[in-house]
Amino acid sequence: MILKDILTGEQIDMLKRDLSDNDLFTLFLMNEEEKHNFFRNFRSTWLAKYDEYFVQFNALYEDYCEYKSSDSSEKSVCLVYCERLHSFFVDMQRCLEFIRIYDIILDFI
């Protein structure tokens, strides 16, 4: 499997940052089933991170909606909520990118 044939340059760079040198060396010594399990574990890790962010995002969004509907809502506090929601959203997007990368790799193993 040649990564440049199945992943974009950006995805390859993300993958390089996610995997350590030890991980890359270990991959050379693995058979196909072990590689599949290896990448499935990495995918599961990113999926768990996504789920954590999603729960936190939803809780924060509910707090934001309650605050916004209250009589005491201030613009500055609403902006803080929006910034935090955006931060969670960016983290969730990053997780989804890694999940996609590992899905693509798993399809080609």
What average pLDDT does the structure give for the chain?
Answer: 93
Q: What is the mean pLDDT of residues 15-37?
A: 93
Is pLDDT larger for residue 68 or for residue 94? Answer: 94
How many percent of the chain have pLDDT more than 90? 78
d(CA 43, CA 86): 23
Total of domains in the chain: 1
Task: Tell me which residue range forms the domain holding 62.
Answer: 3-108
Is 13 exposed, middle or buried, given 0-12, 13-18 or 19+ CB atoms closer than 10 A? exposed
In the prediction, which pLDDT does 1 show?
Answer: 62
Predicted confidence (pLDDT) at residue 95 exceeds the cutoff of 90: yes
Element (H, E) at 61: helix 32-69
- Of the pLDDT bands very low, low, confident and very high (cuts 50, 70, 90), residue 23 is very high
In the prediction, which pLDDT does 37 show?
Answer: 96
| 49-92 tens-digit pLDDT | 999 999 999 999 999 998 888 877 788 888 999 999 999 999 99
In the prediction, which pLDDT does 73 show?
Answer: 74
